[in-house]
Amino acid sequence: MKEINTCLICGSTKIEPFLVCKDYTVSQKDFRIQRCVDCNFKFTSPRPEDADLGKYYKAEDYISHSDTKKGLVNKLYHGVRSYTLIKKLQLVIQHTKLKSGKILDYGAGTGAFLNTCKTNKWDALGIEPDETARKVMNDKFGITSFPSLEEARQNTSFSGFDAITAWHVLEHVPDLKETITSLKWALKDKGIFIVAVPNLESYDAKHYRQFWAAYDLPRHLWHFEPKAITKLFSDNGFKLEKTLPMVFDAFYVSMLSEKYKTGGTNLIKAFMRGLISNIKANKTGKEFSSQIYVFRKM
């Protein structure tokens, strides 16, 4: 196991235990989240060695890699996704002011978003480390993808992107600062970087605590709130342009969290928790279960 002794955000070595969560998806083992005493940032430590992280994604119901529709929660996820894919592309178009261009999706999964871009005349490229997901992307959509930034640079013109997106991906990336730096240089000047991450300041995170599905240990290595993600990007030459809610996530995460907490689906209770979370977040505008951050390269 790998110990993380320095805060990603502020560099402090003052670390203390925050929460212990169970991996309900693969190993059924407990993992610990640590807290930085100085800036309050949370991260998983100890965590699996980087070379071992892949085995914690090997589950039939890990939806971003398998594209599965097995089970009620995943069926509902697919029902919402077709709507949100168009909204994501509209967000790209709004902030690039382009109807078509060059886009990179980092952590592209099975390629559903890139396919939406491709069918709307965007030049689409994916980075996705999981071989199974890349195969689905290629077989189903015919989209070019690579397992790493290094291979993408070796095999394609890896520069001049109008937009880079990372939908619920950065929380998974071990060498996060280095990755952001590499992606920054692939982006055009004043290009946009759109990031979506869970928000542990949300009501549903505070309500479910160790059962909150968006902690997703040990796959999620970093646990963000708005202040931390904004500082991470500003320190790397980006300016926050807009923050937007992902309102459906509160319901999806609450359904999984109820399952982890009680062993049952409890749709009504999960719906109410998701609804309460969104209502509370609307009052502040920055405490939604998951949030989208639009950063512009300066």
Query: What is the average pLDDT score of the chain?
Result: 92
Question: Could you report the per-residue pLDDT of 73-130, keeping only the tens digit for each?
Answer: 555 555 566 788 999 999 999 999 999 999 999 999 999 999 999 999 999 999 999 9
What is the per-residue DSSP string for the chain? -B---S-TTT----EEEEEEEE-TTTT--EEEEEEETTT--EEE-SB--GGGGGGGG--TT-HHHH----SHHHHHHHHHHHHHHHHHHHHHHHHHT-SS-EEEEET-TTSHHHHHHHHTT-EEEEE---HHHHHHHHHHH---EESSHHHHHHHS----EEEEEEES-GGG-TTHHHHHHHHHHHEEEEEEEEEEEE-TTSHHHHHHGGG-GGG-TTT--EE--HHHHHHHHHTTTEEEEEEEE-HHHHHHHHHHHHHHHHSS--HHHHHHHHHHHHHHHHHHSS--SEEEEEEEE-
Say what the pTM is. 0.92
Question: Could you report the per-residue pLDDT of 164-205, keeping only the tens digit for each?
Answer: 999 999 999 999 999 999 999 999 999 999 999 999 999 999
More confident of the two residues 265 and 113: 113
Q: Does residue 211 register a pLDDT over 70?
A: yes
Average pLDDT of the residues in 248-253: 94
Predicted pLDDT at 265: 82
Question: Could you report the per-residue pLDDT of 219-244, keeping only the tens digit for each?
Answer: 999 999 999 999 999 999 999 999 99
What percent of the chain is modeled with pLDDT above 70? Answer: 93
Average pLDDT of the residues in 7-26: 97
The domain defined by 15-297 carries CATH number 3.40.50.11540: no
* Predicted confidence band of residue 65 (pLDDT cuts 50, 70, 90): very low
Q: In what order do the strands lie in the sheet with 15-22?
A: 15-22, 30-36, 42-44, 222-223
Average pLDDT of the residues in 258-282: 94
